[in-house]
Amino acid sequence: MPYVTTADGAQIFYKDWGQGRPVVLSHGWPLNADSWEAQQLFLARHGYRVVAHDRRGHGRSTQTWHGNEMNTYADDLATLIDTLDLRDVTLVGFSTGGGEVARYVGRHGTGRVAQLVLVSAVPPFMLRTDDNPDGVPVEVFDAIRAGSLADRSQLYRDLADGPFFGNNRPGADVSQGVRDAFWLQGLQSGHRNAYECVAAFSATDFRADLDAVDVPALVIHGDDDQVVPFEVGGRASAARIKNATLKVYPGAPHGITDTHKDQLCADLLEFLGS
């Protein structure tokens, strides 16, 4: 299987499908590159080279003890892009991956980047603080951490059966297979890595990273997202990025890579061709 090696020796697994202008997909917590398989297959079939990696501590990448924070995640992404010598890249980040691609821009610039897409993404800043009063209370993230320590497998079951895909809403029809895939990918992550990643996605301030975006940007978010609330994520990011385009999926939950995969594929393809 293909891997790149980071400066500290971590092995980062990636999938490299198709040929053409490159698209790089960054996944959410606690998932891995397989969570992008619908979009990766679709875009590769439509003439793009689509690369999706497993973040360190997730999927098939090294379960490092250290480096479970956004600066290292972004530097690992830079290692992948530099090693494959990708240029004119469209960076697409889902949820935690949205933070990863935003921090990549903040630390490494847009020299290799042509476009940026944030999908149900955690930027600009999830945690409620004195200067971010509309954010999510820390107690929400403390409960996730407590659930991880108490019964990590059940935590992932509960997330998949409930808010992640909106399966707790009246009339929801999310297949058992989709929910099982979330659980399976979650348990492939390292326990410490996934635990530490909760702080990475919730307590990292990406506002300065978004201010540095100087390429065309698309922000996609469901307005019934119970994991990253629309007002905290998509609306706030689109308002902060210069000349960003905002697409709102009415009634959509957090996990739109599965629940709205056809609509998301079509919107990504349209943006790539714009």
Tens-place pLDDT, residues 175-196: 999 999 999 999 999 999 999 9
Reported as a single tens digit per residue, the pLDDT across 140-150 is 999 999 999 99
Residue 95 is a catalytic residue = yes
Give the residue-averaged pLDDT of 202-230.
Answer: 98
Which one from 202, 254, 260, 267 is the annotated catalytic residue? 254
Whether residue 201 has pLDDT greater than 90: yes
* Opening angle at CA 109, ends 107 and 110, nearest 5: 150
Report pLDDT for 132. 96
Do residues 42 and 17 make contact, with C-beta atoms less than 8 angstroms apart? no
Report pLDDT for 18. 98
Report pLDDT for 254. 98
Report pLDDT for 112. 98
Report pLDDT for 105. 98
Report pLDDT for 90. 98
Which one from 76, 209, 225, 267 is the annotated catalytic residue? 225
Whether residue 22 has pLDDT greater than 80: yes
Whether residue 208 has pLDDT greater than 90: yes
- Give me the residue label for tokens 């999830």: 126
pTM listed for this prediction: 0.97
Whether residue 204 has pLDDT greater than 80: yes
Residue 225 is a catalytic residue = yes
CB atoms within 10 A of CB 32: 24
| Confidence class for position 202, pLDDT limits 50, 70, 90 | very high
Hey, what are 200's tokens? 């990475």
| Confidence class for position 74, pLDDT limits 50, 70, 90 | very high
Residues near 13 by Cβ (< 8 Å), separated by ≥ 6?
Answer: 1, 2, 3, 33, 53, 54, 59, 60, 61
Which one from 26, 35, 61, 95 is the annotated catalytic residue? 95
| Confidence class for position 49, pLDDT limits 50, 70, 90 | very high
Report pLDDT for 180. 98
Pairing relation of β-strands 245-249 and 217-222?
A: parallel
Whether residue 1 has pLDDT greater than 90: no
Whether residue 28 has pLDDT greater than 80: yes
CA distance 132 to 255: 25
Report pLDDT for 127. 98
Whether residue 216 has pLDDT greater than 90: yes
